[in-house]
Structure formats: C-alpha cells, structure tokens
Amino acid sequence: MRSLADLADDLATGRTTSQALTEAALARIDDPSGEGERAFIKVYHKAALDSAKASDIARNNGVVPSPLAGIPVSIKDLCDVAGEVTRAGSIVRRDAAPATGDAPVLANLRAAGAIIVGRTNMVEFAMGTPGTNAHYGTPKNPWDRATGRIPGGSTSGGAVSVSDGMAAAALGTDTAGSVRVPAALCGMAGFKPTARRVSAQGIFPLARSLDSVGPLAPTVACCALVDAIFAAETPSPLRPRSLQDLRLAVPKHLVLDDMDDVVAASFAAALNKLSAAGAKVTEIEFPELARLPAINRIGGFSTAEAYALHRDTLARARDQYDANVAGRIQMGDTWTAADYLDLIDIRAEMIAAANGVTAAYDAIVMPTSPVVACAIADVAEGTAWLDAGRLLLRNNIVANFLDRCALTIPCHGQGEAPVGLMLMGETLGDRPLLEIGSAVEACISPPLP
C-alpha cells in the first residue's frame, strides 16, 4: 500500500502517470495467482484505461480537479453505476433494472478525477461481518494467505483491493462495522462518518437507520481525503492534534470482553504508547454499552429493516440467497411494529445518555475487533458464521447505534497479525476525529512498506 499523498506527488512531479498506475492496478487484479478474481465482481478494464489517459492529458494541460485525480479507486458492488444492475453481491438481482444514474458518491469520485477500476465483492446484501460470499467466492486476508483467513465484511473485496495494490482506496459502506472490520483485519485505516454527512442515495440499503458510506485506505489522511470527496466537501490537509493532554476514554463495559491474546497485547501496547506521548488515557464507566447485546439480540435495525426490504424476494427466491444471509435477514420476521417503535425510542434515550458520558473526552477508544482474523473454513456456515459475525461487529455497532463517527487505525507491530484500534468521536465531529486519528496513527501504527 502507498499513501494517496505519495501517489499524488508522483503524478505531480511526473515520476508516474495515471495510465501507469491504472495499468499496474489492473495487472494485479488480473494476476491469476492473486486475489483479484475473488476481490472483484466486475472490472472496468477499458473504461479505467480510457479515464486514466484522459486524466494524463488533462494534467498536462494544468487541469487537476482534486488530489485524488488520476488515482485508481474501487467501489463496493452495492453502489449504483449508470446503466448497470446493482447486484449487491448477490445473484438474485441479476435481472433487476439497471441504475438510471451514478450514486452521488460515485459521481463525486468521478468529478474529483478518480479512476474507477471495478466493483468489489462483498457479503451478499452487506448482511454479514466475516466477509464470505457463497456466489462469488471469498477474497483472502493479506495476512497468512496460506491459511486462508477471513477479510472481514461486508466490504471484503474493498479491503483486499487496497491491501493488494489493486486500488489505492476503496468505497465501502458501514451499517455495523462493514468498513472498519475489514480495514482492521486487513491492516489499514477505515472511516465511518456521521451517517448524514455523506449521501447514501444510490447505495443499495441494508438498514436505512444505520447505513453510512466511508473509505478504506492506507492512512488516516487518505481516508480524510476520500471522505471529503464523498461528502462533496473541498479536501484540505489534516492538522494532526497534539497528543499532549489529549483526553482518551476506554469504556470498562462490553468492548474489552472476549479479546484474544494478540488483540489484548496490541491494544495494551498502543495505549501505553499514547500515554507515554502525553495523552490522558482513562478507563470510564459507560454502562449504556452493556445494554446493546440485549437491544440487538435479534439483529436490531439491520434485521428489521432488511427483512422489510427483502421479504417478498425471500418468499419467491430464497434458494438464490446465501443460506447464512437468508437466515439472518429472516430474523426480521419476528419483529412487530411495537418492537420497532420501541427500538427507535431506546436509541434516542441511549444517544442522550451517551452524550453525557462522552462529552468530557476528545475520543472514546476500544479495540475495533476483539479477535484477529480466523480461517475462512472455520466460519463457513451456520452457527459459527453467525457467532463470528456478532463478535466482530459488537464494538463497531456502538458508533452506528449512537449516530457517531468512528475510525479504525492499525495498532499491531510490523509483521504481526493485523489489529485495529478504534476511535469514536461525537455526532458530526468527523473532522476533529480525523485530526486526532492522524496524531494517534503517527504514535501507534506500523509504517507503510
């Protein structure tokens, strides 16, 4: 992986061209010994090269629409592309009507000059965290390829596209961790914005109450650049916060449970580094978090809203769904209108209570995932798949449920199993969180190769 700033500098100084970057990305996708076949559902070979050549001509004439111009980017398969069917990682939508236009986030990427290399694989309909897909295969985590470990989901192909140099950044979505989990398990940064900041129009929904669109990229600064473009904001360089006297809170409840030894060691080492650099790291009471497993015992908003969307299709074509995904969506059948209205009220109460707890701190800190990536074979189906998904999303869903922004940053040692440290900010506190994250990253993250 290389940072977007480095790639942009190479383009600006003439050390490379957009065509060269795009050809290299496409070659990695097409490499039969690599993960491209499983990481991508559709590759835009000709369109990407045509766009790259046009970008080089524009640059030579002084036209550079953004720092992302000329750089290869992948998009998740649930993003509308004009004239194409949005399959959302499924086969059941093969005969659906093509999209009439690009999703706004994709339109923003194109306007910024990004080169779209392809649509990435994902958990079917974004309903699952291990990252498996029964229809298109499961891309392997870059760590321990010999074992074949899960990439995390649901933005599985997006994470592997970045880790393997098939794209410099990826468009993902995050309903309960679908950006942050694969970013953490694959060793990169991932950002979930406050949902309302970035349009989800033209993105096939999972749960409209929680869905957000965010980037996976090598560094926090990379995420900040792509996030600004997604949100139709003018990109500007991050100004990292000083770690001196930064107030970081670690909840005692829920988020530290069931950590494996690798995550526990990496997380503790990261907190020690931050403390040594002057940050004030405090364990706090956050009892509201302990309620979340019971609140989401049958999937929360995700199953209720997904079932409402899929119930007719499930009735006529359940055999075309991944059995794991169909079973999880079907959980929504047990919801009543009263249950759903109660959940809306509970969420509002939880948000108000949490705001009181976190107001005195600059960010809340927790492990992104309590465990490192397991073998794909260990979570192929049934209870193992469901249990693994629940554990992987447990810490991540906190930010979605509380309507916050959140960022995952690698905190493992060089050459070790990828582990993510998550920072959760306040609602619409996205830019301050990214500035904090940039400083934290410089303190705890392994350097890019």
Report the C-alpha gap between 342 and 337 in whole angstroms.
Answer: 9
Q: What is the pLDDT of residue 324?
A: 96
DSSP state of 154: S
Q: CB burial class (10 A; 0-12, 13-18, 19+) of residue 94?
A: exposed
d(CA 41, CA 56): 27
Q: Give the percent of the chain with pLDDT over 70.
A: 100
Q: Is 76 a catalytic residue?
A: yes
Kind of pairing between the strands at 189-192 and 406-410: antiparallel
Alpha helices by DSSP H, 34-179: 36-39, 45-60, 104-111, 156-163
Q: Which helix (H) or strand (E) holds 190?
A: strand 189-192
pLDDT 10s digits, 154-164 = 999 999 999 99
Distance CA 198, CA 193 (A): 7
Report strand pairing: 115-120 vs 40-43: antiparallel
Q: Give CA torsion, residues 203, 208, 210, 211, to 10 deg.
A: 0
Domains of the chain, start order: 4-230 (3.90.1300.10), 247-444 (3.90.1300.10)
SS3 184: helix
pLDDT of residue 381: 80
Q: Which pLDDT value is given to residue 426? A: 98
User: What pLDDT score was predicted for residue 410?
Assistant: 98
Q: What's the rounded Cα separation, in Å, for the pair 135 and 107?
A: 28
Asked if 280 is an active-site residue, the reply is: no
Instruction: For residue 347, give every residue at least 6 positions away whose Cβ sits within 8 Å of its Cβ, in sequence order, or none.
Output: 209, 401
Q: Choose, from 51, 55, 66, 76, the residue flagged as catalytic.
A: 76
* Cα(55)–Cα(58) distance, integer angstroms: 5
Grouped pLDDT means (10 residues each) for the chain, 449 residues: 98 98 98 98 98 98 98 99 98 97 98 98 97 98 98 98 98 98 98 98 98 98 98 96 96 96 98 98 95 86 97 97 96 94 95 96 98 96 92 97 98 96 98 98 92
Predicted confidence at residue 242, as pLDDT, reads 96
Residue 349: what pLDDT? Answer: 96
- Quote the CA–CA distance of 180 and 178 in Å, as a whole number: 6
Q: Of the residues 3, 66, 154, 302, which is catalytic?
A: 154
